[in-house]
Amino acid sequence: WQGSRTVGPWLVALMLGVVTLLPYLRVVTLSFLLMDDYLYVVDNAVVRELVRAILRSRHHEVVGEATGGSTVLKLCAELRPDIVLLDINLNETSGLDVLVELRAKLPNLPVVMLSGDGTPATVAKTRAMGAHGFVLKPFNPEGLFKAIDRAMGENAPPAQS
């Protein structure tokens, strides 16, 4: 094969470049190659649009949206999301009631709660009820992704040895 003498050094240079860039490639790997499927439940249209835009900005797949809690279990069964972002204050029901239903039916599904009430009591209550994370509104993209990463990490299967 002609040119094989130049392939070796070129390949080594490429591999060294990739190794050098590994810390930066982690972000690409997490946000593009391992696109998680999201379902979010927020009754406010502006917040729904914001959440959708934030998730899509990092190439995450939004598989469903709901404005109230009554359809969440049905959507989870149909769409099989990897994570649910759930507002505590919904018009028709409490997000906490929806969280109880999700924990009963889908105990391993990560749920991150969203709320404007970030008191320690509220955060502790959601944790005790089985939420994997909590994001205080108004939120920024980095805060939302940190909570999502932690929630997904908590739900990760144990490492194989």
Distance CA 131, CA 50 (A): 21
Give the separation between CA 93 and CA 111, rounded to whole angstroms. Answer: 17
The mean pLDDT value for 43-72 works out to 84
Query: Could you tell me which of 126, 102, 114, 97 has the C-alpha nearest to residue 55?
Result: 114
CA–CA dist 97, 57 (Å, integer): 30
% helix, strand, coil for the chain, step of 5? 55, 15, 30
According to the model, what pLDDT value does residue 136 have? Answer: 92
| CA angle (44 as vertex; 55, 40 as ends), nearest 5 | 40
Which amino acid makes up residue 45?
Answer: A
pLDDT-based confidence at residue 59 (cuts at 50, 70, 90): confident
Angle at 150 between CA 18 and CA 34, to 5 degrees: 45
User: Does the predicted model carry a pTM greater than 0.75?
Assistant: no
